[in-house]
Amino acid sequence: MPTFPIPPLIFNLWYNNPATQRKKRDENMKFTDYALQPYLQKALADLKFTQPTPIQERIIPLLLKGESVIGQSQTGSGKSHSFLLPLINKIDPSRQELQLVITVPSRELAEQLTAVAAQLITFSDTEILLEKCIGGTDKKRQVAKLTQTQPHIVIGTPGRIFDLMQENALFVQTVQMMVVDEADMTFDLGFLETVDEIASRMPENLQMSVFSATIPDKIRPFLKKYLGNPKVIQIENTQLVSPTIKNQLLVTKAQNPMDVLRQLLVMGHPYLVLIFVNTKQKADEVTKDLRNHNFKVATIHGDIPSRERRRVMKQIQQMDYQFVVATDLAARGIDIEGVSHVINLEIPGELEFFIHRVGRTGRNGLEGTAITFYTPDQEQAIQTLEGKGISFETVELKNGELVESYDRSRREKRKNTQSKDLDPRLKGMIKKAKKKVKPGYKKKLGQEIRQKQRRQNRTKNK
């Protein structure tokens, strides 16, 4: 609030401005202000959640009113609770039929989202049936279970959900609400057509919500088909990398990256390290090298069987592994508590992947370290990241320690400084020296230029 003296008329215009009032509401908003059922308020209290995040503050009221929504926000923004809370709030447990379907593009995301939903319905006096539908599980057993009783909520991957529909085990004709989570990743993995098949079998008055970090043009026909005139909520990325993260760029010129990596892993007693690479093949190569050097390391990528991935994830959570090699699937689909270090052994091609990778550490206000391997030929990729608002501290490994390295832009700065400092006559002499002239004259001209530069430098340094 501004301080006086301010003319009363000006102050009243400012104070009653809708933007000012909205900001006041945002700052004072609490979960208890929403018309959520008592069991959900108990679940929030159990989580010690009191104030909604910006996306929750914008999304929850709209979904409670039955609006269709497109939500865009960065990872770690509280997106899951922004749609789970209001939509679960609308579930009628007395109706033994499917009412809410949520699709996600990976099994890991389905596991996590199901766990969040399970916590929210824990305190309900009337049982709310929640079913996770993912590949890699016993399909026959699930079909038999669904034939007996339909759940109220289904969370799963598009492929398994559609399979169960084709088996006449899952009846979506009664569904009132649908969420497509991580829509950009759903499209990238080729699942959007299956999601379309699922949604097309639901009632016309379906409340559809789509959440995504980005909205690629190629998913817009799907949005137009099912959302009509939705409310679009976009939460700007005010800070792409958390301030609790030390974001370092590690210069590895003329060094073997694997040698550098192994040195890093024994420095400073890291609690849990995620090592990111761009391909499944590279992940296997790095894992093999580390194991050959007696590091106990886990691997997570798309070719690891579902049952094996679940077992590995459980072992990671139990701290059986201190080091995990992963592809970007893990950055988007796995939330591992207690990650102290993220190492980008390779720079990802997409900014979004970089943010998701680095965002695995420094969570919940804890400190974290992100180290990205870099060689000068990758300067363009780093400049692109910096152009998006990501800043780095440049370091190098010396005598078993990370120390501050050279300024990557030093050559350009020196070039610009020299050009700026030269007087016009000297610039002309240099330009003339570059032309084809007689050898003796060129030598004499070179000596004169050097003398002139020395005199100029002495004058400047006095």
> Hey, what amino acid is at 337?
E
Is 379 inside a domain boundary? Answer: yes
How far, CA to CA in Å, does 141 sit from each of 144, 169, 192, 448? 5, 11, 27, 90
pLDDT greater than 60 at residue 159: yes
pLDDT greater than 60 at residue 26: no
131 and 228 co-located in one domain: yes
Is 28 inside a domain boundary? Answer: no
162 and 283 co-located in one domain: no
∠ CA 404-405-406 to the nearest 5 degrees?
Answer: 135
pLDDT at 109 (0 to 100): 84
> What gap in Å lies between CA 327 and CA 301, rounded to an integer?
6
Kindly state the average pLDDT of the residues 142-162. 96
**Structurally, how many domains does the chain consist of?**
3
**Which residues share a beta bridge with 207?**
177
Is 289 inside a domain boundary? Answer: yes
Are 110 and 136 spatial neighbours (Cβ–Cβ below 8 Å)? Answer: no
Is 263 inside a domain boundary? Answer: yes
* pLDDT band, residue 1 (cuts 50/70/90): very low
Question: In a 3-state reduction of DSSP, which class is residue 100?
Answer: strand
pLDDT at 407 (0 to 100): 62
- Tens of pLDDT, residue by residue over 32-78, are 899 899 999 999 998 888 888 888 999 999 999 999 999 987 665 67
pLDDT at 399 (0 to 100): 85
217 and 161 co-located in one domain: yes
Higher pLDDT, 99 or 73: 99
* pLDDT band, residue 20 (cuts 50/70/90): very low
271 and 177 co-located in one domain: no
Q: pTM higher than 0.85, yes or no?
A: no
pLDDT greater than 80 at residue 450: no
389 and 444 co-located in one domain: no
pLDDT greater than 90 at residue 288: yes
Domain range for 353 is 245-408
- Tens of pLDDT, residue by residue over 342-398, are 999 998 866 667 877 888 888 777 889 999 999 888 888 888 888 777 889 999 888
Query: Count of CB atoms within 10 A of residue 126's CB?
Result: 11
180 and 267 co-located in one domain: no
**Which residues share a beta bridge with 71?**
211, 233
pLDDT at 283 (0 to 100): 93
> What gap in Å lies between CA 382 and CA 334, rounded to an integer?
25
Is 109 inside a domain boundary? Answer: yes
Q: Report the number of secondary-structure helices (H) and strands (E) in the chain.
A: 20, 15
Query: Count of CB atoms within 10 A of residue 12's CB?
Result: 11
Is 22 inside a domain boundary? Answer: no
Query: Count of CB atoms within 10 A of residue 306's CB?
Result: 14
Higher pLDDT, 405 or 445: 405
pLDDT greater than 60 at residue 92: yes
pLDDT at 14 (0 to 100): 47
168 and 294 co-located in one domain: no
For a pLDDT cut of 90, what percent of the chain falls above it? 42
